[in-house]
Chain A
């Protein structure tokens, strides 16, 4: 069974490398030199990179360590013991090895590369846990990586970067831990979940009304400014929401970026759609062609095919543009069933695999991968771009250094190759109800620009990623 998993994982690596490394790398890297095989089949006399696929792995990360690589640090865990110190040498050193190099030139990873990475892509952490929050979600707090500060480690990207370095080194130089000139610019996948497009809906106004009096329960003065926002959005419903969506497009254009708008239609409610169809249709008309639109799966479509189909049908009536990208509202998804349902709906790329309580790499990857069907043991025809950063989570997790922290994540990605998927909601650009957001998106885009990032939309990324997959997997 692991052979199929290995084939799948190798394909994801090769396609990732084609997407995020220069043509020079993808043309010169000989994929036959990367061998996923059982430990017993390693032919140490044949210089190649052997990745063992039968070493037992725990989902609880053990013995985490860091190694300097290409101007940053890569983080490894679940180390593998040196098979024989007489003939295998730990590189770059025996204390914190990345590789074991055989005297004859064969090389193997010094950590459980296959086990760690496959488990992350296949959502094994959550499939082997019963913990769920009130929305039936596996949240970041439940991940065994959280306690070890590993949620912000893009383990797949780091492994891919190390593999490129190691395979290039097979020609004689050995790994040089440097990728200078071999990486394409980092990619940002910008998105906007259009939960609310008009601030005069019942639930938004009701929450504001509640907030006026809420301080009284604690013996404080009422928050009268909420009344001001009620009046403002009553008189000018699209202010701070619909208008901000347009403002985001203008800002992105200024920085040469594009994004996707996930539109939430269907059942109205506290957790459902808050915008009427006319407002959504008006927004669609104003979204330029270079920007994409996608479907924001309504809360009530969770494991409900009929509701899902109805939502898509309703949205399709508002636009002729393809609705092949999606993200679940509240990130409300089930990793065993939702992907299949979305795939049946015609969705080819999803961006739901993020955490609602932490920023980070839920699948250990910053980029795109083909989802894995655990029952059929093969890649599915739907791709995942895991959500890495939700703006309000970043702002609450790093209130004093949110933009700097994002810059660190982006800089790390620049050194190893990959993409960051981010969501910024309309209503978080200049809305005075969220003063912490002021200038945030602007500074965010500025950082992307300064770090030389390019933006790609989900469908664009899928198209490029598919080109890198082997024909059987396309």
Chain B
């Protein structure tokens, strides 16, 4: 068996391995989009493989992502494609692949590795921390919204089909939830901090990445602090608009020609609507609040019209913006469901931002941190 970084011409073999083990039909284009990054070009792609007799039997990858904090922009790695062929388990292949990637981490000045997984044990053995768990904010649009959410996405402790009693209970809960949501959402504009903002904040749909995105991201960090993904126009184009899994609908908010926020959302194959990204910054808190409210209204209206069964987004930490956004969402008819994947985090010893990175509750995390299969 040979454990090494994959060659660029092994893209098909790596993707085929994933599809074989998961019974998935991820396309080669989707694989290439995730791992052949224009923004981070190195001789070798950070994709560790185990090859046995000419066959890929294990993979572990990094997707290099730029984060930003008050000290500036820096590269990190998102852990992806963790997979070992069931016939080869128990041979510490995962650990051996990570040995290679830890070296890659040092060589390429990546400050940390992060990811989301229900299987944390093997990461803990490698020295990863478990700093928190993702939860969900959820608005049902259809009576079977919760049942469909449970079946498709939320990591369920049981894979058995739901009993009639449970199905009935979930359905009853969803109907009640819909009534509450509708009542709260119907008066959404009355929740504006300043009614004149309705005219002041200009919401538009865009098929191109906003040129001022990077500046808004910097203004965001300046205002709220913490750490988040650095979203400049190139990142938005790659991650949201050129995403071969699902392209996002992006709506931007401008005040007097200045970009003050945006929301990106998708109707995913599981029938659910997902807010992928939702961000705003402005010196006036009322503008930020009302921008978020109006952008959320757009997402809810659009996703309802497309026939999505509900709308979900992540609530991860106690970052001030995350708290503000989730507070607005809850007041607008979203429910907080404390269930989701666990975050794993490994901080590079050589990083000069160890303290900030370890303050996980000060990260602003949303679905842009995911691999992008649902947008």
Q: Interface of A with B (CB < 8 Å)? A: 243-244, 246-248, 250-251, 253-256, 288, 429-430, 438-439, 441-442, 446, 450
Contacts and interface: CB of A to CB of B under 8 A. Distances in A.
A254 B266 contact: yes
A256 B240 CA distance: 12
Contacts of A439: 271, 307
A446 B269 contact: yes
A450 B306 contact: no
Given A430-B306, A439-B307, A442-B269, 18 more contacts: A244-B305, A244-B307, A246-B302, A246-B305, A247-B302, A247-B304, A247-B305, A250-B306, A251-B306, A253-B207, A254-B246, A254-B266, A256-B247, A438-B307, A442-B267, A442-B271, A442-B306, A442-B307
B297 to A, nearest CB: 14
A438 B269 CA distance: 12
A253 B249 contact: yes
Contacts, number: 47
B25 to A, nearest CB: 8
Given A246-B305, A429-B306, A251 B267 contact: yes
Contacts of A246: 302, 305
Interface residues of B, number: 16
Contacts of B252: none
B156 interface: no
17 contacts: A247-B302, A247-B305, A247-B307, A250-B267, A250-B302, A251-B267, A253-B205, A253-B207, A254-B246, A254-B249, A254-B266, A429-B306, A429-B307, A442-B267, A442-B269, A442-B307, A446-B269
A120 to B, nearest CB: 35
A253 B305 CA distance: 13
Interface in B21-75: 27
List the 8 closest pairs (A to B, CB-CB), nearest first: A430-B307, A247-B305, A247-B306, A250-B302, A251-B306, A243-B305, A246-B305, A250-B306
Name A's interface SS: helix
Nearest to A431: B307
Nearest to B303: A250
A256 B247 CA distance: 8
A183 B56 CA distance: 33
Contacts of A243: 304-305
B248 interface: yes
Contact of A250 (B207, B246, B249): B249
Interface string B102-117: 0000000000000000
B247 A254 contact: yes
Interface in B297-340: 302, 304-307
A117 B244 CA distance: 38
B92 to A, nearest CB: 37
A251 B375 CA distance: 13
Contacts of B205: 253, 288
